[in-house]
Amino acid sequence: MNFDELAKNMTPDIYSRLRESIELGRWPTGQALTQEQKKLCLEAVIKYEISNDIAMEQRTGYIADGCKSTTETIPSVTVTDEASS
């Protein structure tokens, strides 16, 4: 069984524990997750959510109002070098 199959077939309990571990940055035992463990757990959680049709609003990383930078206009500023003028 490969990683994709494992992620798709994990139980809801394992999914919940992995998601909590990602949020807290540590395993239920209290041991900190390494960067590699965080990456793999996050990938497994996302694959589980997709394969089990978890509602978009309940998925890991969902932002309800969208990204603010796409709707906010930031004024531009032109900088000139007055010394060369």
pLDDT tens digits, one per residue of 1-16: 787 788 778 899 999 9
User: Does residue 76 surpass a pLDDT of 80?
Assistant: no
CB 7 within 8 A of CB 41: no
Residue 13 included in any domain: yes
User: Does residue 57 surpass a pLDDT of 70?
Assistant: yes
User: Does residue 40 surpass a pLDDT of 80?
Assistant: yes
pLDDT attached to residue 74 = 63
Range of the domain at 9: 3-70
Q: In the chain, how many domains are there?
A: 1
How large a percentage of the chain has pLDDT more than 70? 76
Residue 36 included in any domain: yes
pTM: 0.67
CA end-to-end distance (rounded Å), the chain:
69
Close Cβ partners of 61 (under 8 Å, ≥ 6 residues apart):
46
